[in-house]
Amino acid sequence: MQLDDLKARADELRSEAARSHRIRVCLAASCQSSGAGEVCEGFERAVESAGRGDDVEVRRVGCLGLCSAGPLVAVDGRNAAFSELYRHVGPDDVEGLLDSVEGEPVEQLRCPTDVPFFQRQHKVVLENSGLVDPDRIEDYIAQDGYQALVRAVTEMTPEDVLREVQTSGLRGRGGAGYPAGLKWSTVAKAVESPKYVICNGDEGDPGAFMDRAVLESDPHRVLEGMALAAYAVGASRGFVYVRAEYPLAVERLERAIRQATKEGFLGHGVCASPFDFTIELRMGAGAFVCGEETALMASIEGLRGQPRPRPPYPAESGLWGGPTLINNVETLANVPPVVRNGGEWFASIGTPDSTGTKVFALAGRVENTGLVEVPMGITLREIVEEVGGGVPDGRAFKAVQTGGPSGGCIPVELTETSVEYDTLRAVGSIMGSGGMIVMDETSCMVDVARYFMEFCMTESCGKCIPCRAGTVQLHDLLVKIADRRATSADLALLEELCEVVQMTSLCGLGQTAPNPVQSTLRYFRHEYEERLVETPPGEFLVPLDVVDT
- Tens of pLDDT, residue by residue over 439-497, are 999 999 999 999 999 999 999 999 999 999 999 999 999 999 999 999 999 999 999 99
Omega cis (within 30) before 336:
no
CB 300 within 8 A of CB 199: no
d(CA 420, CA 16): 42
Region(s) of the chain under CATH 3.40.50.11540: 144-344
Residues linked to residue 242 through DSSP beta bridges, in sequence order:
201, 283
User: Count of residues for the chain?
Assistant: 549
What's the pLDDT score for residue 207?
79
Q: Containing H/E element for 25?
A: strand 21-26
What's the pLDDT score for residue 9?
93
Say how many C-beta atoms besides its own lie within 10 A of residue 72's C-beta.
30
Tell me the pLDDT tens digit for each residue of 530-548: 999 976 655 544 444 444 4
Name the residue among 297, 302, 257, 300 with its Cα closest to residue 279.
257
3-state secondary structure string across 355-417? ECEEEEEEEECCCCCEEEEEECCCEHHHHHHHHCCCCCCCCCEEEEEECHHHCEEEEHHHCCC
Q: Full-prediction pTM beyond 0.85?
A: yes
Name the residue among 288, 229, 237, 283 with its Cα closest to residue 433.
288
Mean of all residue pLDDT scores within the chain: 93
Query: Which parts of the chain register pLDDT below 70?
Result: 81, 535-549
User: Candidates 2.60.40.770, 3.50.30.50, 3.40.50.300, 1.20.1440.230; correct CATH number of 445-529?
Assistant: 1.20.1440.230
Helix (H/G/I), strand (E/B), else coil: 250: helix
Give the distance from CA 274 to its chain's centroid.
33
Region(s) of the chain under CATH 3.40.30.10: 17-114
What's the pLDDT score for residue 539?
52
Burial degree of 228 (CB within 10 A; 0-12, 13-18, 19+): buried
What's the pLDDT score for residue 549?
39
Region(s) of the chain under CATH 1.20.1440.230: 445-529
Class of domain 144-344: alpha beta
Class of domain 17-114: alpha beta
Domain with residues 357-440, CATH architecture: Roll (3.10)
Say how many C-beta atoms besides its own lie within 10 A of residue 43's C-beta.
24
What's the pLDDT score for residue 103?
81
